[in-house]
């Protein structure tokens, strides 16, 4: 478990103060995949880098499994950093070393294994990320996805408890992104590793994150399960990001449609309710037709969801009760 308590960070730029982090309070449960989203300059990278103290906060505490990382001396910090792997957008591989030697580099730095133990560990990591056949190739001979697999293997070399990913898939095409996300999910499940990732791609969060925090202007403005934040964003910054995604949280069409469609409701289906003929049933029960105006369906990690805007001629509270009894959240939209 990682706990951030009242973190503040200010940079001096040309005699000006730039606030990068403001009173950050965050808890990241062990074993989860935790996403941090926010627009460019919001403070995502700064926040991620405070987790391994690459960036030292001006104020506040970083607790990792109860240990205050901000209070550690150099030796303590070195030990802590070995338990934290990091993956970067542009891979940061050593061009003159082979794939195997890039991965071995992390083991050499730690200096804990002899040559044969290192070779065995490198072979294990190559198999884990699916690069056994590329072991003797150089980074220039690899695709972007393969380079990122090397980056992930290197980050995992010293068996960290925590993996930090800064835009790990942002330089990759959609198909390669999916493959790398599957690898991260697999690592999370197989090794029980906690993953904190920052991304500007909402699809990444929907695909693999359990929880998400939204950072805006250096402050956390919203956090929760991905299902809650993506289907019911509360803060304007979260709404904008999720709306740009165009997938969830169907846009409010109330103004345009009210006159023709009757009262507007937003329905949110999650899990089992997604598969039931709820609209038809409630329409029959209320003896008034329900008109579907807009909708999106999809998956958040392994949970199916649907979100619809419907028009209703009948009684709103009766409809809300009927939907609620079938496990569907129903909100009346203001005209």
Ligand X SMILES: Nc1ncnc2c1ncn2[C@@H]1O[C@H](COP(=O)(O)OP(=O)(O)OP(=O)(O)O)[C@@H](O)[C@H]1O
Q: Supply the minimum distance, in Å, between the C-beta of residue 307 and ligand X.
A: 27
With the CA atoms of 273, 279, 283 and 288 taken in that order, what torsion angle do they form, in degrees rounded to the nearest 10?
A: 140
Among 12-20, 75-83, 258-266, 272-280, the segment contacting ligand X (CB under 6 A) = 12-20
Identify the residue whose tokens are 């040559």.
115
- Report if residue 38 touches ligand X, rule: CB under 6 A: yes
Among positions 45, 176, 219, 225, the unique one binding Mg ion when judged by CB under 5 A: 45
Q: What dihedral angle (degrees, nearest 10) is formed by the CA atoms of 124, 125, 131, 132?
A: -20
User: Quick check: 26 binds ligand X (CB under 6 A)?
Assistant: no
Q: Give the Cα separation of 240 and 248 in Å (integer).
A: 11
What tokens were used for 99? 């794939």
Structure tokens at 308: 């619809």
> Least Å distance between CB 19 and ligand X?
8
Bridge-based pairing state of the strands 219-225 and 211-216: antiparallel
**Of 40, 42, 21, 38, which Cα lies nearest the Cα of 241?**
38
Query: Which window, 42-50, 99-107, 156-164, 274-282, contacts Mg ion (CB under 5 A)?
Result: 42-50
Query: What are the DSSP E strand ranges found in the chain?
Result: 2-13, 16-28, 33-37, 59-64, 67-68, 84-88, 162-166, 194-198, 211-216, 219-225, 263-270, 290-300, 303-312, 329-332
Q: Of the candidates 26, 28, 46, 150, which one interacts with ligand X according to CB under 6 A?
A: 46
- Judged by CB under 6 A, the residue of 41, 192, 255, 277 near ligand X is 41
Counting contacts by CB under 6 A, is residue 262 touching ligand X? no
Site string for ligand X, 188-207 (x = CB under 6 A): ------------x-------
Using CB under 5 A, which of the segments 38-46, 100-108, 168-176, 252-260 binds Mg ion? 38-46
The closest of 132, 165, 158 to 146, measured between CA atoms, is 132
**For ligand X, which residue of 2, 4, 7, 20 counts as binding (CB under 6 A)?**
20
Per CB under 6 A, 11 contacts ligand X: yes
Residue 17 found at the interface with ligand X (CB under 6 A): no
Binding site for ligand X (CB under 6 A): 11, 13, 18, 20, 38, 40-46, 200
């Amino acid at each position: 478990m990682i706990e951030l308590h009242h973190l503040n960070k200010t940079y001096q730029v040309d005699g000006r103060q730039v606030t990068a982090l403001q009173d950050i309070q965050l808890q990241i449960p062990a074993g989860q995949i935790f996403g941090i989203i926010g627009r460019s300059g919001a403070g995502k990278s700064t926040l991620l880098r405070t987790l391994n103290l690459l960036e030292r906060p001006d104020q506040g505490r970083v607790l990792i499994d109860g240990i205050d990382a901000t209070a550690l001396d150099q030796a303590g910090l070195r030990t802590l950093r070995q338990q934290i792997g990091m993956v970067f957008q542009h891979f940061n591989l050593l061009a003159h070393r082979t794939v195997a030697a890039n991965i071995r580099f992390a083991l050499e730095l730690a200096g804990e294994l002899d040559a044969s133990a290192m070779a065995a560990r490198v072979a294990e990591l190559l198999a884990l990320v699916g690069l056994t056949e590329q072991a003797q190739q150089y980074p220039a001979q690899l695709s972007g996805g393969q380079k990122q697999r090397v980056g992930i293997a290197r980050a995992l070399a010293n068996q960290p408890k925590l993996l930090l990913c800064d835009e790990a898939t942002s330089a990759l095409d959609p198909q390669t992104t999916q493959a790398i996300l599957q690898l991260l999910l697999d690592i999370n499940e197989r090794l029980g590793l906690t993953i904190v990732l920052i991304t500007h791609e909402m699809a990444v969060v929907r695909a693999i994150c359990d929880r998400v925090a939204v950072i805006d202007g250096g402050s956390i403005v919203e956090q929760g399960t991905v299902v809650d934040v993506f289907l019911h964003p509360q803060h304007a910054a979260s709404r904008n990001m999720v709306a740009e995604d165009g997938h969830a949280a169907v846009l409010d069409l109330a103004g345009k449609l009210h006159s023709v469609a009757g009262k507007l409701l937003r329905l949110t289906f999650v899990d089992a309710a997604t598969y039931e003929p709820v609209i038809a049933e409630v329409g029959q029960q209320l003896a008034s037709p329900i008109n579907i105006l807009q909708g999106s369906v999809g998956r958040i990690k392994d949970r199916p969801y649907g979100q619809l805007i419907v028009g209703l001629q009948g009684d709103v509270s009766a409809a809300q009760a009927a939907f609620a009894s079938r496990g569907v959240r129903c909100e009346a939209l203001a005209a």
